[in-house]
Amino acid sequence: MAKNLTTKILEAHLVEGELVPGREISIRIDHTLLQDATGTMAMLEFIAMGLPRVKADLAAQYIDHNLLQTDFKNADDHAFLTSAAQRFGVHLSKPGNGISHQVHLERFGKPGLTLLGADSHTPTAAGLSMLAIGAGGLDVALAMAGHPFSLPCPKVFGVKLLGQLSAWVSGKDVVLEMLRRHSVKGGVGKVIEYYGPGVATLSATDRATIGNMGAELGATSSLFCSDERTREFLVAQGRGDVWIPMAADDGAAYDEHDEIDLCTLEPLIACPSSPDNVTPVREVAGTKVDQVIVGSSVNSSFRDLMTVCRMLEGRRIAPGVSFHANPGSRQVLENVAQQGGVLMLLMAGVNIHQSGCLGCIGMGQAPGTDQVSLRTFPRNFPGRSGTKGDKVYLCSPETAAASGLNGVITDPRDMGKIMAWPAVANPEHYLVDDSSIIYPLPPDEAARIEVLTGPNIVPFPEFEELPEQLEATVVLKVGDNITTDHIMPAGNKVLPLRSNIPAISRFVFEQLDASFPERAQAAGNGIIVAGENYGQGSSREHAALAPRYLGIRAKLAKSFARIHKANLVNFGIVPLTFRNPEDYERIKQGDRISIPDIQRYVREGVVEVPVLLNSVPVAMLLEVSERQRQELLAGGTLNAVRKGVV
């Protein structure tokens, strides 16, 4: 029977379960990825397991988010991560070396492997035909400890690519087209597998861009074949020996299907304030632009940045526009510099920053009041930039450069009147410098390393088991598409507290309701009620962990985003969905919720859980696996692991 590539990789890594969409499966994880915003807590969770060394084939820790050292906190946490990586056998990429997704693609990725990362954009590794999945930090810590990763078996959404991209159109426009067609919920529960003759026309870094923003579709992962373009990239990185060809069988079946003729695509742009609010650039052309940022966690490869360099060469950024470049890695910047690109950027008036996420996570680069910001980033959720009421557009590097030159949103095809299309290709051989990667020590040397903990690193909180019955207050009611940025904001004020749960919990729901932390703690046991797709966006487990610390014991929603639902279970918060979505309208903030036999319902595998709303029954669904039920009973996954029940 002909098989798609997703099925082949899942079969090769299957530890438990059957490949039936929706049923829980467990897969072996080859590589793990941590970044500092989520990895500090994940490392604390790994340490709490008491193991002397990681068991994954390759574990990597990147310091790429919290780079601003406005006080001691980030510097202390960097020292903690560096020493912990050395102690437990983890590869460490130092601050400034680059963004986890770009560096893993360059230096560690291999076709056909699985990668689990504590970052929702981990599927960037689709560019090298890795089945890469974003998850909460605790799930990654468990994979580091050798545990398989459990998830609902995804459907496989096949997207056939035909033709070739036209001049001034790039990989970003492909994934924006997918978002225009399918929305931020279109990939939920699916791996999006791209195939067809058009794939061969896309470079590994174009594919990485498309894989990265599959997260914005809500997809479990995205995947491309491993072909000659994959081999080209690995050879250029000096790692051609790890290449193997991989592809779907001819005639392979898919659960869902779509088709894109690349020839027909035009430059697209996501308008404020959602990645799926997509329209052709020409329809918003002429809008005044105040800020442009190229790079960060997507569109930060050599090809992307060098395209901008060529477009700006011999020209100046428009007056009144603040233009920034965030290279994806030190390697990208070094190779751009070798080809004269750095001078092109500087002479054009561009501000070049260190390699890091920076403005994408709200770590600086916030736009001014009422200013329009064009970014090649993956997300433009409200307030994510660090400015309330922001006007952030998402676009390709070509659109960003054209708009920066003209001071208004510009269809890059219009630049063809004054310049030739750059048609930049990736180098045949990259300059490679791994001096900013600290490789694992031999076990005997590693055992002598002292793990450094500063005053901002607070031990992981202890959580009690699930009670026999739950009496709670609805502390907050919210609508559809609430993101983890709404729940647990990022930015330079909040992110440095990532290893201090009591401190970071004071900022939960700050954008929506600043009084939430105080009210949640006063309630004793609290409940949050939400609409569709609750918890979309970043994988940050703090959006579950901090509310749990404040006393939230259950969340009632029309539907949950995959990673956030898993994170809720990991920290003992019961995720219930409405059997009848109209019951959502009946609940108000301040209502009393009672679940008299919640412990028994969880223990006995009950799916339809009767909930009393002000003493009136409301039918809720608890759709979790038997493993997750054991974790909920224990008060969270770490408790369950310590007790040996999972």
Q: Is the pLDDT of residue 310 over 80?
A: yes
Residue 445 domain-assigned (yes or no)? no
Instruction: Say yes or no: 372 and 517 in one domain.
Output: no
Instruction: Say yes or no: 85 and 212 in one domain.
Output: yes
Instruction: Say yes or no: 394 and 501 in one domain.
Output: no
Q: Is the pLDDT of residue 359 over 80?
A: no
Q: Is the pLDDT of residue 645 over 80?
A: no
Residue 441 domain-assigned (yes or no)? no
- Per-residue pLDDT tens over the stretch 402-453: 999 999 999 999 999 999 999 999 999 999 999 999 999 999 999 999 999 9
- Per-residue pLDDT tens over the stretch 617-626: 999 999 999 9
Q: Are 106 and 203 in contact (CB under 8 A)?
A: no
Average pLDDT over residues 12-36: 96
CA–CA separation, 550 and 567 (whole Å) = 16
Q: Is the pLDDT of residue 543 over 90?
A: yes
Residue 105 domain-assigned (yes or no)? yes
Residue 361: what pLDDT? 80
Q: Is the pLDDT of residue 238 over 80?
A: yes
* Strand bridging mode 616-621 / 574-578: antiparallel
* Strand bridging mode 608-613 / 592-595: antiparallel
Tell me which DSSP letter residue 48 carries: H
Instruction: Say yes or no: 299 and 384 in one domain.
Output: yes
CATH assignment of the domain containing 529: 3.20.19.10
Residue 289 domain-assigned (yes or no)? yes
The whole domain housing 366 covers: 268-415
Instruction: Say yes or no: 310 and 233 in one domain.
Output: no
CA–CA separation, 332 and 326 (whole Å) = 10
Instruction: Say yes or no: 276 and 235 in one domain.
Output: no
Residue in this structure with the two tokens 């598409």, named with its chain if needed: 481
Q: Is the pLDDT of residue 330 over 90?
A: yes
Residue 457: what pLDDT? 86
Residue 448 domain-assigned (yes or no)? no
Instruction: Say yes or no: 509 and 565 in one domain.
Output: yes
The length of the chain in residues reads 646
Helix (H) or strand (E) holding 643: helix 637-643
Instruction: Single out the residue in 211, 232, 264 at which a domain terminates.
Output: 264
Residue 109 domain-assigned (yes or no)? yes
Instruction: Say yes or no: 163 and 290 in one domain.
Output: no
Instruction: Say yes or no: 200 and 273 in one domain.
Output: no
Residue 219: what pLDDT? 96
Residue 438 domain-assigned (yes or no)? no
Is the N-terminal amide bond of 83 cis, ω within 30° of 0? no
Instruction: Say yes or no: 638 and 508 in one domain.
Output: yes
CATH assignment of the domain containing 304: 3.30.499.10
Residue 388 domain-assigned (yes or no)? yes
Instruction: Single out the residue in 415, 430, 452 at which a domain terminates.
Output: 415
- Per-residue pLDDT tens over the stretch 586-611: 999 999 999 999 999 999 999 999 99
Global confidence as pTM:
0.91
Q: Is the pLDDT of residue 614 over 80?
A: yes
Residue 360: what pLDDT? 85
Longest Cα–Cα distance in the chain = 72
Instruction: Say yes or no: 9 and 81 in one domain.
Output: yes
Instruction: Say yes or no: 213 and 93 in one domain.
Output: yes
Q: Contacts by 458-461 with C-beta closer than 8 Å and gap 24+?
A: 458/499, 458/500, 458/501, 458/502, 458/503, 459/44, 460/41, 460/44, 460/45, 460/48, 460/501, 460/638, 461/501, 461/502, 461/545, 461/549
Instruction: Single out the residue in 213, 233, 264 at which a domain terminates.
Output: 264
Average pLDDT over residues 3-11: 98
Residue 454: what pLDDT? 86
Share of the chain above pLDDT 70, in %: 100
Q: Is the pLDDT of residue 362 over 80?
A: no
Question: Does the CA dihedral 142-148-151-154 come out positive or negative?
Answer: positive
Domains contained in the chain, number: 3
Residue 68: what pLDDT? 83
Sheet holding 437-438, edge to edge: 131-134, 114-117, 31-35, 58-62, 91-93, 437-438
CA–CA separation, 591 and 613 (whole Å) = 7
- Per-residue pLDDT tens over the stretch 469-485: 999 999 999 999 999 99
Q: Are 559 and 532 in contact (CB under 8 A)?
A: yes
CA–CA separation, 320 and 318 (whole Å) = 6
